[in-house]
Amino acid sequence: MLSGCVPQTEGVLEKRDIVEKWSPQDWREFDRWIKANAIVGSLLAAGLFAMAVASVPSAGPADTAAAGHSSGTELTTASSR
């Protein structure tokens, strides 16, 4: 009567069952796969970081001087056209 409530695990492979059967060559291939994925992930992360740093506006001395002396007429003349 309670057989429907009990989970059936017959015929189900679990990770530990698969991993226990790996040969040394399988482990070497898995380690290579993990290292390759770590390298690719690191390169992608470095690229994202470089893009983030490149997109940050830098305010040098010339930029701050120009911003301080701006009268805002550039915007009014461009919008009046």
pLDDT digits (tens, 9 = 90+) for 36-48: 999 999 999 999 9
Mean pLDDT of 22-28: 91
Whether 40 is covered by a domain: the verdict is yes
The residue with greater pLDDT, 26 or 10, is 26
49 within some domain:
yes
Decide if 78 is inside a domain: no
Domain containing residue 26:
21-54
Q: What is the pTM of this model?
A: 0.50
Whether residue 18 contacts residue 10, with contact meaning beta carbons closer than 8 Å, is answered with no
Q: Is residue 34 part of a domain?
A: yes
In a domain, 41, yes or no: yes
26 is a domain residue: yes
Q: How many domains does the chain have?
A: 1
Structure tokens at 64: 């701050």
Give the per-residue pLDDT at 54. 92
Banded pLDDT at 14 (limits 50, 70, 90): confident
Does residue 5 form part of some domain?
Answer: no
Residues whose CB is less than 8 angstroms from the CB of residue 30 and which lie 6 or more positions away in sequence, other chains included: 22
Residue 28 lies in a domain: yes
